[in-house]
Amino acid sequence: MTIDRLSGALLVLLGVFVVWERRVLPLGSSQHPGPGYAPLLLAILLIIFGAILIAGGKGSPPLRSISWPEAPHAAAILACCIFTTILMERIGYRLTIFIILGFLFGVMERMKIWLVFTLAIGFSLGSFWLFDSLLRVPLPRGGWNF
Amino acid sequence: MEVSFQNLILGFATVLTPTNLLYALLGCLIGTMVGVLPGVGPLAGISMLLPTTFGLDATSAIILLAGIYYGAMYGGSTTSILMRIPGEAASVMTCIDGYAMARKGRAGPALAIAAIGSYAAGTLSVVGLMFLAPPLARFALGFGPPEYCSLLVCGLVVLSYMTGGSIVKNLSMITLGLMIGIIGIDQMSGYFRFSYGLVSLGDGVGVVPVAVGLFGISEILATAGSPDRREVINPRFRDLLPSKQELKDSIGPIGRGTVLGFLIGIIPGSAHIISTFVSYALERRMSKHPERFGEGAIEGVAGPESANNAASTGALVPLLALGVPTGPIPAVLLAALIVHGINPGPLFIKEQPVVFWGLIASMYLGNLVLLLLNLPLVSIFVNLLRVPYRILYPAILMFCVVGVYAVNSSMVDVGIMSVMGILGYLLRKMDFETAPLVLGVVLEPIIEYSFRQALAMSDGAYSIFVLRPISAFFLVVALVMILLGLKPLIKKTKDWRERLTEAERGA
């Protein structure tokens, strides 16, 4: 399997999915196109581009040529993003940022514990002060109002 | 002419207040830091810092953001010259001769010429912007929905051709971007589209979470954990002055780079990157000693750096006059303007003269500020480069979260940023460009609206797009670009875009 063939197949699948999901939206007519008109046109275009990629993708590099040396870090950062999305409004900005920075500095980068605490506390409180207190950008304080 | 100068005086009257001067200064400083720090490109930088402008009036906000924009464009040259790491893609060419000069103990003059070239190009291209944008806006006042739709389609196709790489992949990214832009309430019928019950998606997917995800988060995902390459050459302030010969050798490249950069900057695509490659190639061809290029030729720094800065200003012409962003950075600037209640387009200059001319005046001042401040402060920026990336990337992640959350106080936006981060990371791995995707998201509402209006006008006849001359012209340009893009696929030869992509990767 080559990179272009896989990406082409994914684009075709996405196009088909949009065509299927679009069925609840009225298509209208060419005189008065409805909300489903543009999604259908775009889905067709996506299927065409995907098909071209599949057809011409024989010479592209194989999928196994992609290297993932940064995968552990990427997974950790991704986990931090998900954690933030789910919990930031519940536990507040400062605590969330303290936890994710503590995790990244301490677990992923294996820094010394005093440095982890200094950086995590400094960044979380400092950025809160800069944005919320100084620039009046409201940041979540969570259930404990912190 | 007279009207322009009167307006320019109005602009300077707007900018020359202590507050606005401070914002111009701050913008340039922050922008330079953004350009200097690896992992924070101008796009992610502007997006992350957008919330800091919310408490400001529109003019001050735009002055600050514009300062960040061209400050970042300048800042990229510092890392290129001192570390051979381009702070952003447009500084790739500066690495070659800039770093070679630094290795020979001429880092100071290289930095000084980069600053002087950026200043001259920035200032001269603002003159171009000042004279070109108003008449272009007046011309565009005659555009109806078919012309607008065709112009935007043409812009997207030109972007996909000029971005480099496979045109089919770029077109598919545009289509994907347009699809993402569809999510939310349909402006003409009020239907919720693809929002799956999430009320927060009613307003659609914002450009800030998309841009920060695709350019900020995906960059961190791809680079975190890589070993630090931190050999920084530290120039002394007294060594910054270039010699008379170096100044003399730089005048021509700066002039040519400015004209080239400004003209290329108007075209959609990676104009600021392309302009540096074209400028470098031109200077090398015109040189009596082309063998010096790659070994520390000052022309190899002066030309590309001037072209880069001129292209950044050139990109503002279609944005301010037509409301059409030509790349992801102008797209985020467009979003910023909209947040502040300004809708760029043909009526913008007429209806918001204070903002437009204030911006123009601030750019003159900003370029001067960059020249006067950045050279004396180069040691501070060098110290910034010594901050280990393992400390930097969690901080960048934190700024991404704050920047995205603050736009709408929405966790859904943070979620979208995360999803776009993964998408951007995977797309990089699979050799897809993400800039066309961002443009697709930004332009979808305008394209769809004008497309449906045009069809309603013509009673459903698609021929309206080819029967109106201006619209037909844009479509012909788009068709020519598609055919040019497909040529290497059919002939199996490498065109200039593929060579450009290879050179970018090799740097």
CB-CB neighbors (< 8 A) of A33 in chain B = 451-452, 455-456
CB-CB neighbors (< 8 A) of B223 in chain A = 70
Domain boundaries, chain B: 5-506
For residues B354 and B15, is the Cβ–Cβ distance under 8 A? Answer: no
For residues B206 and A52, is the Cβ–Cβ distance under 8 A? Answer: no
Give the pLDDT confidence of B221-280 residue by residue, as tens digits: 988 877 765 666 767 666 777 888 888 889 999 999 999 889 888 877 666 777 888 888
Q: Is B186 in contact with A35 (Cβ distance < 8 A)?
A: yes
CA B92 to chain centre: 15
Give the pLDDT confidence of A117-143 residue by residue, as tens digits: 999 999 999 999 988 888 778 889 988
Q: Is B54 in contact with A135 (Cβ distance < 8 A)?
A: yes
Q: Is B169 in contact with A7 (Cβ distance < 8 A)?
A: yes
pTM (whole model) above 0.90? no
Residue B419 has what pLDDT?
95
- Whether residue B201 has pLDDT greater than 80: yes
Give the pLDDT confidence of A80-97 residue by residue, as tens digits: 999 999 999 999 999 999
Q: To probe the interface with A, which of B175, B176, B393 has the most A CB atoms within 10 Å?
A: B175
ipTM of the complex: 0.94
In the block, tokens 């990676």 appear at: B270
Residue B452, token pair as written in the block: 């449906």
In the block, tokens 């301010």 appear at: B320
B496 confidence band (pLDDT: 50, 70, 90): low
Cβ of A134 under 8 Å from any chain B Cβ? no
Q: Which of B152-156, B169-173, B349-353, B443-447 has the highest mean pLDDT?
A: B169-173
d(CA B416, CA B410): 10
* Shortest Cα distance, chain B CAs vs residue A144, angstroms: 18
B1 confidence band (pLDDT: 50, 70, 90): very low
Residue B248, token pair as written in the block: 């003399």
For residues A43 and A19, is the Cβ–Cβ distance under 8 A? Answer: yes
Question: Across the interface, which of A30, A74, A127 has its CB nearest the CB of B224?
Answer: A74
- From residue A120, give the alpha-carbon distance in Å to each of A96, B152, B380, B386: 10, 45, 24, 20
Handedness of CA B44, B48, B52, B53 (dihedral sign): positive
Q: Is B394 in contact with A49 (Cβ distance < 8 A)?
A: no
Residue B447, token pair as written in the block: 């394209």
Helical H segments across B141-216, by residue range = 145-162, 167-182, 207-211
CB-CB neighbors (< 8 A) of A101 in chain B = 394, 398
CB-CB neighbors (< 8 A) of B394 in chain A = 100-101, 104-105, 119, 123
Q: Is B191 in contact with A100 (Cβ distance < 8 A)?
A: no
- Check residues B452 and B407 and name the one with the higher pLDDT: B452
Rounded mean pLDDT, B72-90: 75
Percent of all residues in chain A with a pLDDT value above 70, rounded to a whole number: 100
B52 confidence band (pLDDT: 50, 70, 90): confident
A51 confidence band (pLDDT: 50, 70, 90): very high
* Shortest Cα distance, chain A CAs vs residue B460, angstroms: 4
Q: Which of B30-44, B134-148, B248-262 has the highest mean pLDDT?
A: B248-262
CA B83 to chain centre: 23
Give the pLDDT confidence of B143-192 residue by residue, as tens digits: 889 998 998 898 888 888 877 778 889 999 999 999 999 999 998 888 89
